[in-house]
Amino acid sequence: MIRLYAAFDEVWWAARLNLLWFLGTLAGGVVLGVGPATVAAYTLARRHAQGESFSPWRAFFAAYRREFRRGSLLVLPLAVCFLVTTNVVVLLLLAVITAYLLPMYVHFDLRVRDCLPKASLFAITRPASSVVLLFALLAVAFAVSRLPFLLPTLAVGGWIQLNTWLVLRFFAENEALLLAKGN
């Protein structure tokens, strides 16, 4: 029963994160809102994955305001790349790099310009983890293609939470490997 409650709690969390992301995106007129909304959602997902207790609404809009400029600088170029890229292999590679980049940005104290090279390197040097991320993304995309109501209700928040949870584990595994090599 406790596991069922925990599963429903995660679904409820993903739905709230989804709603916050959509509201933040719309608040910025979509183009100016998608960057800070995405960074704010990833910030909350990281905090949630680490077991922090916080007010989602207050924390989201505080992060949204704080990251408005940098979030736009980080996300808008990626969004443009996704829109203009027609090669499927390049799209998949870009998706994997982005899957590392956003949790990396909110987890580590990095400048915006340092995130893309570091995320690219991590994606290339961790092929098994990259395949897991790609599989998870394709699973979410498949679910949305079969059940379109998931997009406005759960898919974005669910992906952000799943992506953050996975990548934080990959980062912890990487840190442990680096620590073991150092000893």
Section 59-80 average pLDDT? 96
For the chain, give the mean pLDDT: 95
CA dihedral 33, 35, 39, 40 (to 10 degrees): -10
Segment 149-166 mean pLDDT: 96
What 3-state class would DSSP assign to 142?
helix
> How many CB atoms are closer than 10 A to CB 75?
24
Quote the pLDDT of residue 1.
79
Q: What is the mean pLDDT of residues 81-104?
A: 94
Instruction: Work out the end-to-end distance of the chain between its first and last CA atoms, rounded to an integer number of angstroms.
Output: 43
Which pLDDT value is given to residue 183? 59
pTM: 0.94
